[in-house]
């Protein structure tokens, strides 16, 4: 299975007592690299009952020695990019449902998001290289200290 193929598990809870829907999502592959958990809570807005609020949270963890922080930063940046695309999709669909013209097409938004994701990935790669280099240097210094 390639790194671009992701498999996730999704749980969906509906709490009727307080009009909330909650989804939990987590990866079930690549857990040797990182664990990503996401929770979305959908509820009625307290100021306007015609609105829906979304509380989106995510946790990224990695136990790879020397590069776990870089992995976490990279995946968090990727998550933020995906949330941005998802929100643009929500806005597009809502605008269409309400008979309004969306400000940008999904293709335009996707192109912008793709460019931003490339920039983020390059920055994360450089940061990971820097952190790995520092970790290797620190390990080498520790070895020299014990010799």
Residue 135 pLDDT level (bands cut at 50, 70, 90):
confident
DSSP 2: -
Answer yes or no: is pLDDT of 1 > 50: no
Is residue 55 a contact partner of residue 38, using CB atoms and an 8 Å limit? no
pLDDT for 144 beyond 50? yes
127: helix, strand or coil? helix
Structure tokens at 53: 């609020």
What tens digit of pLDDT does each residue of 73-91 get?
Answer: 888 888 888 888 888 887 8
DSSP string, 33-91: T-EEEEEEEEEE-SS-TT-EEEEEEEEEE---TTTHHHHHHHHHHHHHHHHHHHHHHHH
- Is the overall model pTM greater than 0.75, yes or no? no
- For residues 120 and 78, the answer to whether their CB atoms sit within 8 Å is yes
CA–CA separation, 20 vs 94, rounded Å?
20
**Tens-digit pLDDT profile for residues 16-33:** 667 788 888 887 777 777
């Amino acid at each position: 299975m390639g790194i671009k193929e992701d498999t996730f598990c999704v749980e969906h809870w509906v709490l009727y007592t307080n009009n909330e829907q909650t989804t939990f999502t987590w990866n079930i592959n690549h857990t040797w690299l990182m664990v990503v958990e996401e929770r979305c809570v959908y509820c009625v807005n307290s100021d306007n009952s015609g609105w829906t609020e979304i509380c989106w949270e995510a946790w990224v963890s990695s136990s790879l020695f020397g590069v776990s922080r870089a992995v976490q930063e990279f995946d968090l940046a990727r998550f933020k990019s995906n949330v941005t695309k998802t929100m643009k999709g929500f806005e597009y669909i809502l605008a269409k449902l309400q008979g309004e013209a969306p400000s940008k097409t999904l293709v335009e938004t996707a192109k912008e998001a793709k460019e931003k994701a490339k920039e983020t990935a390059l920055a994360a790669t450089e940061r990971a290289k820097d952190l790995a280099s520092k970790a290797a240097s620190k390990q080498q210094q520790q070895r020299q200290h014990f010799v």
